[in-house]
Amino acid sequence: MYKRISIFFLLIFIQCIYAQRIVKNENLFAFIGNKISVIEYDPNTDSEKVIGIEIDEETGDTLTVKRKSWVMDQAFNCKYSIEKNLLNKISQDTINFKAFDHYGRPQFEKFDNVILYLSKNQNKEYYHQKYIHDPVFKINGKWIGVLSFVFPNDNLELWKKFKTKKINKDNSIKWKLGFCDVNCQETYYPKPYFEINKGIVYPKRAFKIKDILAYRMMTTFKLQSID
């Protein structure tokens, strides 16, 4: 008599972008972080779990019922120092969290300093709110930042309601554009907030940190209050 193993394959996609945007204030953490490390790992290691035992009605064999999950995104273990808490204080000086990205490595890692938005899962582990980040820079001892156009339908009209400060006259703040055609550039790097020249992005107008946070609460996370 042989033992049959019944395996249920369940494809689990990481929460879709918009589902991740519905969070509660108490489980949303925002801070200015300084990159220490971003290391890729395989999220599908040990993904098969035994969920029960059944008896085959015809043969009397014991059946081991298993479930195998499959994450379709690339996964990363990230470590950042906390330069400044912005929403819901994280007490430690450094933090470890997981990030998932369907398109490759997370875009936030290209910046030394960035506003990151995290939440906790059921195991009390921190994870990154998928794709959401805003680059920041310290100029004359004060933090200012640029809004990251994460979604094509982000509210550019709301951007215009916040005052900005001209920065980067010497073009010392810059990063590589990557693959992004003209339509992409108009969507994700709108003028006059950014200038692009020969494949390099130059931020030109910066927002106050409190205004960046207010924008995220009203749009990305659909929360009107940051108290």
Quick: pLDDT tens for 120-175. Answer: 998 899 999 999 999 999 999 999 999 998 766 568 888 888 999 999 999 999 99
> What's residue 44's pLDDT?
82
Handedness of CA 198, 203, 205, 211 (dihedral sign): positive
Residue partners of 177: CB distance under 8 A and separation at least 6? 185, 189, 196, 199, 200, 201
* 63 touches 77 (CB < 8 A): no
Question: Which residues constitute the domain of residue 190?
Answer: 5-218
66 sits in which H/E element: strand 62-70
> Rounded to the nearest 5°, which phi and psi values hold at 172?
-75, -20
Q: Say if 58 falls within a structural domain.
A: yes
Tokens of 16: 């879709």
Quick: pLDDT tens for 30-67. Answer: 999 999 999 999 988 765 554 556 665 666 555 555 45
Q: Say if 226 falls within a structural domain.
A: no
The residue behind tokens 């790097």 is: 189
Q: Say if 227 falls within a structural domain.
A: no
Q: Say if 223 falls within a structural domain.
A: no
Quick: pLDDT tens for 81-132. Answer: 999 999 999 999 999 999 999 888 999 999 999 999 999 998 899 999 999 9
Q: Say if 95 falls within a structural domain.
A: yes
Q: Say if 225 falls within a structural domain.
A: no
pTM, to two decimals: 0.78
88 sits in which H/E element: none
Strands 48-55 vs 194-197: parallel, antiparallel or unpaired: unpaired
Omega before residue 192 within 30° of 0, cis: yes
| CA 2 centroid distance within chain | 47
* Number of separate domains in the chain: 1
> What's residue 92's pLDDT?
94
